[in-house]
Each structure stands twice: as structure tokens, then as C-alpha cells.
Amino acid sequence: MTEKTNIYKQNLQTLFYPKSVAIVGTNKVKGTVPGDIFTNIMKAELNGVVFPVNPREKFIGGVKTYKYVIDVPDDVDLAIIVFPSSVCNRALEQCGQKGIKAVIIISAGFKEIGEKGLEREKELLEIAAKYDISFIGPNCLGVINTDPVSRLNASFAREFPAEGNIAFLSQSGALCTAVLDYALAKNIGFSKFVSFGNKADISEIDLLYYLMDDEKTKVILLYLEEITNGPGLMQAARDVIEKSGKPVLIMKSGRTSEGASAAASHTGSLAGSDEICNAAFEQAGIIRCDNIQEMFNIAIAFAYQPMPKTNKVAIITNAGGPGVLTTDAAIKQGLQLARFSEETTSILKRSLPSTANIKNPIDVIGDARADRYIAAMDAAFKDDDVDGVFVILTPQSMTDIEAIAEEVAKAAQGSDKPVYTSFMGAADVAAGIKILEKYQIPHYRIPEAMCMPFYTAYAFNKMVKEHTDVTVELTGLDNDKAQSILQNASNEGRSYLPEHVAAKVIEAYGLPVIESGLAHSANEAAEIAAKIGFPVVMKVMSDDILHKFDVGGVVLNVNSKEEATQTFTDIYASVNRKMPDAKIEGIYIEKQIRQGTEVILGIKRDPSFGPVVMFGLGGIFVEIFKDVSFRIAPVDKSAALEMIMQIKSSKLLFGARGRANMDIDSIANAIVRLSRLAVDCPEIKELDINPLIVLEEGEGCYVTDTKIII
Amino acid sequence: MTQEEVKQKVKKAVSEVLKIEQSEIDDDANFIFDLGADSMQSMLLIAAFEDEFDIEMEVEKAQEVQSISEAIDFISGYL
């Protein structure tokens, strides 16, 4: 955390818990933003003093009104600016003069309208810097703090939400209003609710650090339209998760990949912005959500219930079909059905009718009343193999829905194991669902929907508990050499490095490059080949030739000095015939290594997240199936191993279909070193190692072809 | 028309639209920040200036005029 972030944290505390608030530019007109902000702040019964500021009014809503904020006789903790954008600078300047450190700028008409607005926004930042002001916005819905200590509604939202332990941060104000309405219908409360708009000053990163220490917040939800500081966001999320154990759920819009289409390398074309965003979130432990419903389905699991210790659940249902459907969904999601102990089975046998199914899923039968549900839940809670309970209800004529809801909720509250529910249907079960929501028992409209939130909570808990830092100091990195090669290429005006030069760059970072040399004559070719040792591969080197095979520029299995001499002449002849204008630099000769499995490694730079490394299996797995994995650089060895395991075709490296195990360790080491190169040498725009030949376990891997674009 | 005459006419128009005594209008007052004009009143000010000076102003540029002093300069360009 930076010193700047600390200042933000102090100012954010004042912003969320002000003892005095000035609404600068408010008016008496209901149904307008300046008017409604005043109404909302008064309606919420702020624990503090409110000072309306308007150049013309003497009183607003019966409260004495001041012409300028500097006219307010008392200290002001928070200013909410609702003036038109053209005069926000003057309002902020006066806030500075008044000594106000926390400001919310609601007004629109800044960066979002173009150049003129951007200028205005820059001016706000200059004023804020001059007076050490931290501000949220501009162009936002505002801020809500439901904590009874504050009860701040500095927004023009329609409703003041219930108190809760979920914090919601959003770049979109309109989405905020929809989320508030959704939450209202679902009885979901919030701790803090922030629309941060253009995030000119206070960003989602500052807010994450604030919420990390906010006692009222258990879960953090974030809606983002653009990521301006990817590494900062990742670090903030990591810090929040590691230091507070609070999950961070992000809904990120803009899943398009136009950026990938213009790339010049394999890695560039495969790494779309959304894939990189996914990888970055996964690395940081962020839970990515696709829509509001999914986000809240997961959020209530975290907010209302204990964390699952394992992935083993007991399903309790009054109907067989939904029990089977839920079982299928659970298994597919990666959950397990708990195996009941003999004692549990015996309890269930005694407590339930003989027609009931006492194995998991437990079927308490259609005529079950609350007592059977409770007997089954109690038995499941006592069973050591059960770490979560799914309760399913279908509304049958004899089902006392509300009584069951009441009893299930009370039983759940008395357990340290998470309980999720699904009362299936809509009209008949509505009152029962309201009871469950009142008791903060997660409820899902269909029973299958319980599985994903449970698995997410389980996986998150496991990640937090098992996290270990396995960063190892790398040795044998020659950054000076790599930089010098790249600098020379840049001085020569090159946009990419010839293969033999590119090989030197990655060799400087300890990647296993096979022995090679560049020959300018047939005799030299024979000498170099003999020195390397046969067999060798010979390739034409030319800036003008991208696809060497197509012009007869690559020859494998050269086995003697004589063959090397002849091959040199043959390649020149072939290239001269097929591409007479190509300028040939020489013939590149390298050791031909034994057959292994071809994999591809790469580097790309993402505008939001910076350097990215890629791994995939070579050939059709990359070309057709695009079966690759990404991580933001640098990566440690465990992350590199995860990258290898993550691709669908990874089994081919682990002895599938009678193959030998490949040397996974050497690939992971290569990924780690490549990721350091990506971080240390920002001149490299894109890099492909295609292929990296991987030999059997213990025999290593070798780079045979490298492409570097600068 | 002298600058002083233009200023008095501008203040008169502003006084009528915003219903403020002319004596309360400073020479460099901002219509929004100092005089509390809302967006509708800002549009009415343009119309009031056109009537007062019998001129037709370019609306887009006129909307950028924020204060008494800016209005004097802007309107002088039409006289």
C-alpha cells in the first residue's frame, strides 16, 4: 500500500463517516439531482449536520442555506458537489479553502463528454492535489453508508438500502439503481454502496483498501467497465484477500477481443483482452461474475453463511426429482455427496418414515412437515463427512411452507455448517422465501443454483487457507546482455529480431537454447555443423522471409559435413528461385534434437495488465483449438505449473495413451524465466517460442525457434 | 454603445431573468455559481440578451458564456 493510498484511506473514513456535510449547488426543486440529494440525505437521518449551499436560497427544506461553502461558519467534513460541470472547479477550490478533505462530485459533463470535459477533470485533479482533497466521481450516483453510526445517503438513488455486510462499488451509476432495486426485492442489505463514476481521483483500488479494514463489510462486489491500472487492482485484491479474508467479486463488462486481431505473433493473436482479464483475476483470487444474479447468488453465500470446509454436501429434499437434479449439478460443479456414517444412517432411520430415502440425497417424502426436515438437518450437521446442507422444498398440498422455512432458518442459524435453500416454485413459496431471506439463509430459485456458490465459497476458502508464497530468487539472469541486444536492434530500426539474435536474448535469461551458429559460406556451414555435432537443422536467415518452409528454407537431418556444404548451396538456390528479391543474411545451423512434445510459450503486453505470458501445446492444439493458458508476469513456479495443468490437452504431457511423462518441471522453469524477461524488458512487445521441444521426464526441454517483436 | 452601457444592459437582463436586484450583481459574477442560475434560466438569459440588444447570437457559443464579464465581451462582438 502506498502513502497516497493511506491518505485516501483517511479521507475515505471522513467521507463515509462525516459529522458535517455541505451540499454545494443543491436547490429546492424535487425531481432534480441537486434537489433529490438534499432530500435523500435528510430522509436517511444523517448522524451529523447538513449545510445546504445555494447562491440564491436562504432556506432549503427549513435548513439555513449558505451562498458559498466558505460562508458555512462550522467545520465541514464532507462536501457533495452537484453544480453543473462548468463551475465544479470553483466549488472544489472553495472546498479546499474551507479545509474540506473529502468530496463527492456527482455532476456529469467531464471525461465522458470528450476533450472539453477531460480538461475540466484535469482541473479538478489539480485543485484536489493543491489542497490534499480526495474526491469520488465526477459523473456518479453518489455514496451510501448504512452504518447506523453514519446513515449517509449522499446519492440520488430512489431508496436507502437495508443495513448489511456486502459492499457494492460500481463504475456505472445506472447499474447501481438497478442493483439497489434488485437487492430491495431480495432483502439484501449493504454496508457501503459507492458509485465512483469517472474515478478521476478515488478509484476502485483505493476503495478496496478502505473496505479491507471496514468492520461492517464481509464481501466486496465491484462492477467495472474499464481497468485502468490492472497490476494495482490485482495487488489490492490480493492484499484484501490475504489480510482480511474478504472475497472480491467483480463483474467486468466488455468481453470483446478486437485487440487480439491486430497482433503479429501467435501469442498476440491468442491473448484477447478478456482471456487476459480472466487470467489476471484468477491469479489475484478475484471471483469473476457474468451478471448481477450470479454475483448476488455468490455474495449471499459468503455474506450469510460460514465457509464450507470441504466440498461434501448433504441434500435434503421432499421430492426425489429435484434431489437427483441437484445431485447431478453438484457432481458436475465439483462437489461430492457426503457419505453418511452408520450413526447418521441409524438416526435418520429412527426419525424418518420407512418410505424415506435415508441415503444422500435424503428424501423426507412429500408429506414432510418441519419436524422431518429438522431431524434430517440435525443428523447431517452431526455427521463429520458433511460440510454443507442443501435444503429443497416443493410445495405440496400438505406442505406447511412457512413453518418449514421458519424451522429450517432457525436450525441453520444454530449450525457452524453452511445451509443453502431452494423452495421451488414462485407464488406458493413466496412467503416461505421471505422468511428465509429475513433470517439471511441463502435462497436460490432452482436447486441446481446452490451448487456454484457453494463450490465458489469452498474453493475461495481453500485458496485462502492453502496460500503459500513460493517465490524463488532466480539466478543466471543476464539483464544487461538482453537489454544490450534489444537496444542494438532498436538502434538499427528493427521491428523484430532475427531468430539467431532472439535466441541470444532468451539465452541471457537462462532458457535452454540449443547450440547454434550462423554460416555465411558453405565451408563455414560445414565447420559450424561439425562443431555442434550431427544431426543438425539448417534454416535460411532473412528479414524478408517470414515462412521459411514455404521457400525451401529449412532442411532437417543434416548428418555430415558434406551434407551441410550441399544443403547450404541448396537452400540458397531454392530461396533465390522462389523469392529472388529476398536478402539472405546467412544459414542458421542448430543442433537437431530428439523428437519430443512441442509446446508454445509467449509474451504479450496488455494495455491494462502489462506483461502477459502464455503457454499451450504446439500444432493443432494452438492453431485450431486455441488451447492455451495465460498469466500476468511475473509468475512463480506454482503459477507456471497451474498454467500447464490448466490447458485441456495437458494430459498429453502426463503420459496419456501410453506416452511417457514429459519433463513438466523444465517447462515450468522456462515459463518462470520467460515471465521475468517479460517484466525486465518492456521493449519486447511480443515474443513466441514456437516450439519449445519437451523431452521425457528428467531430460529437459529446448527452444528451437524464437520470434521477438520490439 | 460604451462598455458601461453594455454592462448595465447585461445586468438589467440578468436581474429580470434571475429576479435579483441589479445592485446585488457583481461585475464578474458567475451566473450559476454566484447567482444560482439553473439550466433553464441559463437558456432564458441568452434570449433575454438577444431581446435587450436586438441581436441574434450563435447559441452554441452563447451557452459557453458563464459570467457578467464574459457576457459583456461576447455581446460587444455583435454590436
Question: What are the tens digits of pLDDT across the range A337-348?
Answer: 999 999 999 999
Helix axis angle, B39-53 to B68-76, nearest 10°: 40
Nearest CA to CA, how far is B33 from chain A (Å)? 6
Looking at residues A471-481, what average pLDDT do you find?
84
Mean pLDDT of chain A: 92
Looking at residues A127-131, what average pLDDT do you find?
97
Nearest CA to CA, how far is A195 from chain B (Å)? 24
Query: Does residue A486 belong to any structural domain of this protein?
Result: no
Q: Is B35 on the interface with A (CB under 8 A)?
A: yes
Q: What is the pLDDT of residue B28?
A: 93
Q: Which residue is closest to B34 within chain A, CA to CA?
A: A55
SS3 (DSSP) at A40: helix
Q: Do B33 and A27 touch (CB under 8 A)?
A: no
Nearest CA to CA, how far is A154 from chain B (Å)? 21
Q: What is the pLDDT of residue A684?
A: 95
Claim to verify: residue A34 and residue A109 sit in the same structural domain: yes
Q: Is B36 on the interface with A (CB under 8 A)?
A: yes
Q: Which residues of A touch B (CB under 8 A)?
A: 27, 29, 54-57, 83-84, 86-87, 90-91
Size (chain B), residues: 79
Query: Does residue A658 belong to any structural domain of this protein?
Result: yes
Claim to verify: residue A47 and residue A191 sit in the same structural domain: yes
Q: What is the pLDDT of residue A94?
A: 97
Q: Is B17 on the interface with A (CB under 8 A)?
A: no
The model's confidence at residue A265, banded by pLDDT at 50, 70 and 90, is low
Claim to verify: residue A618 and residue A683 sit in the same structural domain: yes
Looking at residues A133-157, what average pLDDT do you find?
97
pLDDT per residue as tens digits for the range A518-538:
999 999 999 999 999 999 999
Model confidence at A266: pLDDT above 80? no
The model's confidence at residue A256, banded by pLDDT at 50, 70 and 90, is low
> In this predicted model, which residue has the larger pLDDT, A654 or A179?
A179
Question: What b/e sequence results for A283-318 when a residue is b if at least 16 CB atoms lie within 10 Å of its CB, and e otherwise?
Answer: bbbbbbbeebebbbbbbbbbbbbebbeebbbbbbbb
**CB-facing half-sphere around the CA of A399: CA atoms within 13 A:** 24
Claim to verify: residue A549 and residue A609 sit in the same structural domain: no
Model confidence at A623: pLDDT above 80? no
Per-residue confidence in pLDDT tens, chain B, 79 aa: 899 999 999 999 999 999 999 999 999 999 999 999 988 898 999 999 999 999 999 988 998 999 999 999 999 999 8
Q: How far does Cα A378 stand from its chain's mean position?
A: 38
With 0-12 / 13-18 / 19 or more C-beta atoms within 10 angstroms meaning exposed / middle / buried, residue B1 is exposed
**CB-facing half-sphere around the CA of A29: CA atoms within 13 A:** 13
Q: What is the pLDDT of residue A565?
A: 95
Show the domain range for B45. Answer: 3-76
Q: What φ, ψ does residue A574 adopt, rounded to 5°? A: -65, -45
Q: Do B33 and A55 touch (CB under 8 A)?
A: yes
Nearest CA to CA, how far is A118 from chain B (Å)? 16
Claim to verify: residue A541 and residue A443 sit in the same structural domain: no
The model's confidence at residue A260, banded by pLDDT at 50, 70 and 90, is very low
Chain B contact set for A84 (CB, 8 A) = 32, 39
Look at strands A63-64 and A142-145 and give their pairing.
unpaired
Claim to verify: residue A36 and residue A180 sit in the same structural domain: yes
Last residue of a domain, one of A567, A592, A617: A592
Assign residue B30 the CATH number of its domain. 1.10.1200.10
Specify the residue for cell string 493458458: A629
Given a contact cutoff of 8 angstroms between Cβ atoms, the answer to whether A393 and A359 are in contact is no
Claim to verify: residue A101 and residue A48 sit in the same structural domain: yes
Tell me: cis bond preceding A395? Omega within 30 of 0 counts. Answer: no
Q: What is the pLDDT of residue A290?
A: 93
Chain A contact set for B30 (CB, 8 A) = 87, 90
Claim to verify: residue A580 and residue A448 sit in the same structural domain: no
Query: Does residue A248 belong to any structural domain of this protein?
Result: no
Chain B contact set for A87 (CB, 8 A) = 30, 32-33, 66
Assign residue A211 the CATH number of its domain. 3.40.50.720
Query: Does residue A675 belong to any structural domain of this protein?
Result: yes
Tell which residue, A435, A418, A486, has the closest CA to residue A680: A486
Model confidence at A471: pLDDT above 70? no
Among B30, B36, B39, select the one facing A54 at the smallest CB separation.
B36
Query: Does residue A272 belong to any structural domain of this protein?
Result: no
pLDDT per residue as tens digits for the range A283-300:
999 999 999 999 999 999
pLDDT per residue as tens digits for the range A181-235:
999 999 999 999 999 999 999 999 999 999 999 999 999 999 998 898 999 999 9
Q: What is the pLDDT of residue A259?
A: 44
Last residue of a domain, one of A184, A217, A250: A217
pLDDT per residue as tens digits for the range A500-523:
899 999 999 999 998 889 999 999
SS3 (DSSP) at A315: strand
Express as a percent the part of chain A with pLDDT over 90: 81
Query: Does residue A269 belong to any structural domain of this protein?
Result: no
> In this predicted model, which residue has the larger pLDDT, A625 or A272?
A625
Q: Do A87 and B66 touch (CB under 8 A)?
A: yes
Q: Is B14 on the interface with A (CB under 8 A)?
A: no
Last residue of a domain, one of A445, A466, A487: A466
Show the domain range for A530. Answer: 515-592
SS (H, E, C) A463-485: HHHHCCCCCCCCCCCCHHHHHHH
Structural domains counted in chain B:
1
Looking at residues A577-601, what average pLDDT do you find?
90
- CA A152 – CA A142 distance, rounded (Å): 10
Claim to verify: residue A520 and residue A646 sit in the same structural domain: no
Q: What is the pLDDT of residue A330?
A: 97
Nearest CA to CA, how far is A251 from chain B (Å)? 36
Chain A contact set for B39 (CB, 8 A) = 84
Claim to verify: residue A623 and residue A582 sit in the same structural domain: no
Helices (H) and strands (E) in chain B, counts: 4, 0
Given a contact cutoff of 8 angstroms between Cβ atoms, the answer to whether A216 and A192 are in contact is yes
Claim to verify: residue A162 and residue A137 sit in the same structural domain: yes
Query: Does residue A480 belong to any structural domain of this protein?
Result: no
pLDDT per residue as tens digits for the range A674-688:
999 999 999 999 999
Among A29, A56, A90, select the one facing B35 at the smallest CB separation.
A56
Q: Do B32 and A86 touch (CB under 8 A)?
A: yes
Q: Do A56 and B33 touch (CB under 8 A)?
A: no
pLDDT per residue as tens digits for the range A401-440:
999 999 999 999 999 999 999 999 999 999 999 999 999 9
Q: Do A90 and B33 touch (CB under 8 A)?
A: yes
Q: Which residue is closest to A89 within chain B, CA to CA?
A: B33
Claim to verify: residue A586 and residue A606 sit in the same structural domain: no
Q: What is the pLDDT of residue A268?
A: 64
In A529-640, DSSP assigns E strands to 536-541, 554-558, 586-591, 597-606, 610-617, 628-632
Model confidence at A146: pLDDT above 80? yes
The 10 Å Cβ neighbour count of residue A357 is 15
Given a contact cutoff of 8 angstroms between Cβ atoms, the answer to whether A531 and A523 are in contact is no
Structural domains counted in chain A:
4
Query: Does residue A400 belong to any structural domain of this protein?
Result: yes
Nearest CA to CA, how far is B36 from chain A (Å)? 5
Assign residue A654 the CATH number of its domain. 3.30.470.20
